[in-house]
Chain A
C-alpha cells in the first residue's frame, strides 16, 4: 500500500512539473524576431521624409520642432550615437531577440529584448509585479517597462523615457511619453500594437502595429550588427532643404517644397489628429503624388544607412 502511494505521489509530481513546463513553453516569446509587415518601408529604414507628418496626431509644439529640425543637428559628434527610445521597436527597421529571465524556481521574472544595433538599448520587461516607479526616477532611452499577461497577450507599459525623436524626420518625443505595447504570439508570428501617449507633443494617442516573424538562428540580414562611428562630417546627410537658420513661417518656401516633393497641401503634411481619419481623404481628392523615382519597388526593407537615426 505504501509503495503504491509513493509511486502515485511521484507520478503526480512528475506530471505536475512536466505539464507546467509544457504549458509555459507554449507561450514562450524567446527567440529572434524580424519585422515581417511592410508598412512605411522607406520611412522606417532609409528615414522619414522631411516635413512630412501626415497621419501623426502631433500638436503644434511637435510641428514647430519638426519643421525646424535641421539635418545638421545629427552631425553633432555628441548626438550621432544617441539611441532611440522604446517606440523604436515599431518605427525602426530592427527586430530583436526576446529572452526570459527566470528565478531559481523557473518562473519568468522578466523578458529582455535586445538588438545588435547600437541605436536601440536592451529593454527589460519586468514581470514580477513591481509597482510603478516614482515619476522622478532615472529617465533612460530604454525607459522602465513592466508587463502583465491579459489572456494570450503580453501588455507592456514603458515610461521614464528620455527626450528623443518619435520619427527620424525630426518629430520629437518627450520624457513624459508612455508606451503601451500589446504582444500576441501566433505560432511563428507575433503581432505588436503600440499606443504612444505623449502630453507634450501629441494631441491624441499615436497607434501603430507591426507583425514579426520568428527566425531560426538569427539572420545577419534581419538583425545585423551595427556600430556607431562618430565622424566630423557625414557626407550627404542633409537634404539641401533644411538648415538650422531656416525657421518657419516661410510659407511660400515650405509649400512650394511640399507640393514639389509630395504633391500634397500643407494641411496634410502638417499632420495632426485630423489627418488620421477617413474624412481627411475627402480633402485630398485631386492631389497627385509625383511619379516615384526613389525606393519605388522596395519589396520589404531598404538596406540600413548607418548614419541615419
Chain B
C-alpha cells in the first residue's frame, strides 16, 4: 500500500526528509528528559548507565552538627516536623530504646545515608543492587524489575524498587542508537516503602510506618574524582508536615582499606 502510494519521487522525498529529520534532531538528542528503561531481556546490571560498584565514603560538608556529633536535644532545625513529631521527640529517651534493643532505629532507609559511613556497593544478582554500610552494618537491597514485586513485611530498610531512568540517544524511529557504556547517561531512581518506624535524627525525631522514600542516585565526575549524589525525599503523614528533602554526597575510594564495620549506636 505504501509502495503503491509513494512513487519514486515521493520515496526520494521521504528518504531526504528522514535524513533531514535525523540530522535536525541530533543536536537536540542531548536534551532529552530521562526516560524509563523499557522492559527488555537485558538485565538491570547490563543496562546500568554507570558503574556504582565499589567503595564510597560520605563527605560530611552539610548538616555537620547533626551528623558528626549527637544533635542537640530539641534541635529539629531543617526537619519539617509536625506537632505530633515534636511531642514524640521531646519525650524521647535513648536509654529506653537501647534497653529495648532498638539501637538501629536511626539507621533505617530514610536516614542511613546521612550517617558518616562508607558504602560497599555490588550486584547481588543481575536484578538486585546490594548496598552495605560499615557504620551500623546495614544492608539495602535495591530491586529492579520482577524482583521488586515480591511481597514483604515491614523492615528497617523496607522494600526498595528501582529503575534506571535512562538518557538515551534515539533516532526518529524511536530505536536506541548504539552506545558504549561511556556514552550512556542516566539516574538510578529508587522508591522505598514497607518501613518499620524509626528515627530521622539521633535526638528523637521520628518517622512512622507509613513513611515513603524516593531517591535519585546520580554519578558526578570531575577530573578523576567520582562522587555519588543521592537526593532523598522522605514523606511521612504521621510525623512530618511536609516532605523532608536532603542530599547525601559520597566520594569513591580505590578499595576497601578503610572499611570499618561498627555497631549501631544511639549515643554517638
Assess the A24–B28 pair: CB atoms within 8 A.
yes
How close is B14's CB to chain A, nearest CB, in angstroms?
Answer: 6
A295 interface contact, C-beta 8 A? yes
CB contact under 8 A between A23 and B28, given known A278-B60, A299-B80: yes
B132 interface contact, C-beta 8 A? no
B225 interface contact, C-beta 8 A? yes
Interface size class of B (residues with CB under 8 A): 35 or more
CB contact under 8 A between A284 and B68, given known A152-B186, A191-B218, A297-B81: yes
Mask of B97-129 contacts with A, CB within 8 angstroms, 1/0: 000000000000000000011100000000000
Assess the B28–A152 pair: CB atoms within 8 A.
no
Collect the chain A residues with CB atoms within 8 Å of residue B65's CB: 52, 54, 262, 289
Mask of B45-84 contacts with A, CB within 8 angstroms, 1/0: 0000100000001111111110011111111111111000
Collect the chain A residues with CB atoms within 8 Å of residue B231's CB: 37, 189, 191, 209, 211
A150 and B9 CA atoms in complex are apart in Å by 40
Assess the A38–B244 pair: CB atoms within 8 A.
yes
Mask of A14-31 contacts with B, CB within 8 angstroms, 1/0: 011001100110110000
Which of B34, B172, B225 has a CB less than 8 Å from the CB of A186? B34
Collect the chain A residues with CB atoms within 8 Å of residue B118's CB: 278
Assess the A207–B61 pair: CB atoms within 8 A.
yes
Collect the chain A residues with CB atoms within 8 Å of residue B216's CB: 184, 186, 191
Which of A20, A55, A205, A290 has a CB less than 8 Å from the CB of B68? A55
A82 and B268 CA atoms in complex are apart in Å by 41
Interface set of B (CB-CB < 8 Å, partner A): 5-7, 9-10, 13-14, 16-18, 20-21, 24-25, 27-34, 49, 57-65, 68-81, 86, 116-118, 135, 165, 167, 172, 184-187, 216, 218, 220, 222, 225, 227, 229, 231, 233, 241-247, 249, 251, 258, 268
